[in-house]
Chain A
Amino acid sequence: GVSLKEAKERGQLVFLEGLGSCLNVVFGEEEPEEEQEAKQPHPLQFLRTSFSSSGTVSDLRALFDFVRTALAPAAGDAWQGRVLLVDELGVLLSLGAAPVAVLDFVHYCRVAVCSRLQGNIVVLVHSDEDSEDKENELVVTSMCHHSDLILWAEGLATGFCKDVHGQLKIIRRTSLQPGGQHDTLQLYQYKIQERNVTFFARGMSAAVL
């Protein structure tokens, strides 16, 4: 496996743990005005601030700034390529951010990471077939439209199975490329273990063979 702890120490991995750091935002001490402005706003600042006149766009700006600074190339670092991993986008909606703000955030990240830094972004979203969460569905649909690669994990259509927990659809959006044809689709099935997932072609589960 990969040691994330070491990566973090080397500076290769920057980890913003929302759950942990939100406690600082919510229960933190009140700081005097001047200090607050001088310091860089906390990435989860939007939890705290009341509605500003500029409306929704400013909500997640602090979060984006955090991402941008974390991934900015620094002198002397030898890391090739940049990757932004977001787990999970729907939580931002639960915390009161408007769908537009979330989409804006992703858009800004795309520009910063994909275009300027030639990096990649991986975003996790939850969805449900008969979900009534329209805001979430909006975000998910938008993500699907703009993605070059979609990894779609879902349960089996036939119901629960002990040996095959679900299937993974890999959709490459070749149709987005100039001169590209239809999207290509690959299908795998998987079984989840405690610390690992095994993938296999349909019908080739170890239990069946």
Chain B
Amino acid sequence: LVSTEEDIYGVYSHLLFKYFLAEGVVCGHDLFVASAKELPTNILKELPAPLLDNCRNEAREETTTVTSEDDSMQIAWRYQNFPKMEASPNTSSRFGHYYDISKTMSSELIQSIKCHSFFLPEEPSLQPTIKMKNMNCGYARLLQSIQKIIYQEGFDGSHPQKKQKNVLRIGIQSLGSMLWGDDISCADNPEDAHSLTKFLYVLRALLRKSLSSCIITVPAHLIQNKAIMERVTNLSDVVVGLESFIGSERETNPLYKDYHGLIHVRQIPRLNCLICDVSDTKDLAFRLKRKQFTIERLHLPPDLSDAASRSSKPELAAAAKLLSSGRGAAAGGEKHLDF
């Protein structure tokens, strides 16, 4: 369960959200997109296009020139290199794909996988049948919907005769915001402070018991009751906080002039082991370039050497691994179900 604390305007967290889903499409996973504010189909239309092998070299050349276009529409995520799925089966140990956000993913690619969606305003307002005391209705219906899909599509092993095991990637936008009917983001002493944490507990239970993984974004900056955010952190496997410099005094700070924001890794996953690979890098920052979104170790502005405009691969590998790991359940046999 990957929890992302949203940056103030939600720009970058939405980006991470789309990348998670895009990676799912490219890997052939099934998707489940839930939102209370945006139509899932619109979200799917905006997924970044994956970079195929021949484009990758072009992209790499671009990064060596130090461009400082601060056009906030051009963003891209740079995972470690991973050859196309159809290519040779044994390759580097790194995983992930390149994406180019200036282009959107083709609709054929999206249609090649199964997408389930949950859009709160359009859900029929039936009383949820799950039995939890005092659970926020929106969350209850979402849980029910997820559980139903997991069961029906056999992600929890309930239909063993189904052809091939697959992974379900769930993305839930802005949990805890008012749009879900939760008042923790607008009241100091919310009436029901436990709905979100109960929801996360049951969600994680569902993830553990099935081949699913999930990303949620939470408007942490709006939640006044910090105790709730502490509990959310404890209840998640991976927690990443995004802090963008937009509108803050850091925007003009020369230390940060190459970057658009900071990434705080608040929790790393410890699934089936005592500790996972802890990166040496504690200070991570991100920036938008023309077609790429990079996560780098925070360092002083480079002294005109062009090697410094790209972060070294080991650091990115650590960052990408930290942010991409933390899956919910037991791995399948195939290599692309890498956990």
CB–CB B131/A28 < 8 A = yes
A183 within 8 A of B: no
A177 within 8 A of B: no
A11 to B183, CA, bound (A): 46
Contact of A27 among B147, B275, B278 (CB under 8 A): B147
Interface residues on A, range: 35 or more
A94 to B201, CA, bound (A): 8
Contact of A48 among B131, B201, B206 (CB under 8 A): B131
CB–CB B194/A196 < 8 A = no
Query: Known: A162-B280, A197-B274. Is A25-B131 also a contact (CB below 8 A)?
Result: yes
CB–CB B231/A22 < 8 A = no
Q: Which residues of A contact B206 (CB under 8 A)?
A: 23
Q: Which residues of A contact B134 (CB under 8 A)?
A: 50, 96
Interface residues on B, range: 20 to 34
Contact residues, A135-170 vs B (CB, 8 A) = 135-136, 160, 162, 165
Q: How far is the CB of B165 from chain A (nearest CB, A)?
A: 20
B197 within 8 A of A: yes
B204 within 8 A of A: yes
Q: Which residues of A contact B226 (CB under 8 A)?
A: 132-133
CB–CB A136/B227 < 8 A = yes
Q: Which residues of B contact A186 (CB under 8 A)?
A: none
CB–CB A26/B130 < 8 A = yes
Query: Known: A19-B204, A94-B198, A128-B230. Is A194-B133 also a contact (CB below 8 A)?
Result: no
Q: How far is the CB of B333 from chain A (nearest CB, A)?
A: 22
CB–CB A20/B133 < 8 A = no
A193 to B200, CA, bound (A): 28
A25 to B201, CA, bound (A): 13
B273 within 8 A of A: yes
CB–CB B274/A126 < 8 A = no
B68 within 8 A of A: no
A111 within 8 A of B: no
Query: Known: A23-B202, A131-B230. Is A94-B194 also a contact (CB below 8 A)?
Result: yes
CB–CB A49/B133 < 8 A = yes
CB–CB B209/A23 < 8 A = yes
Q: How far is the CB of B319 from chain A (nearest CB, A)?
A: 16
CB–CB A94/B282 < 8 A = no
Besides A19-B201, A22-B202, A47-B132, 17 new A-B residue pairs in contact (Cβ under 8 A), listed by A number: A19-B208, A22-B205, A47-B198, A48-B131, A90-B231, A94-B194, A94-B231, A94-B235, A95-B198, A96-B133, A131-B227, A131-B230, A165-B275, A193-B274, A193-B275, A194-B274, A195-B273
Interface CB pairs A-B, < 8 A, 8:
A19-B201, A25-B131, A94-B231, A95-B197, A132-B225, A133-B230, A162-B278, A193-B274
Query: 7 closest A-B pairs (Cβ-Cβ)?
Result: A133-B227, A94-B197, A132-B226, A96-B194, A192-B275, A19-B205, A194-B273
B contacts, CB < 8 Å to A: 129-134, 143-144, 147, 194, 197-198, 200-202, 204-206, 208-209, 225-227, 230-231, 234-235, 273-276, 278, 280, 282
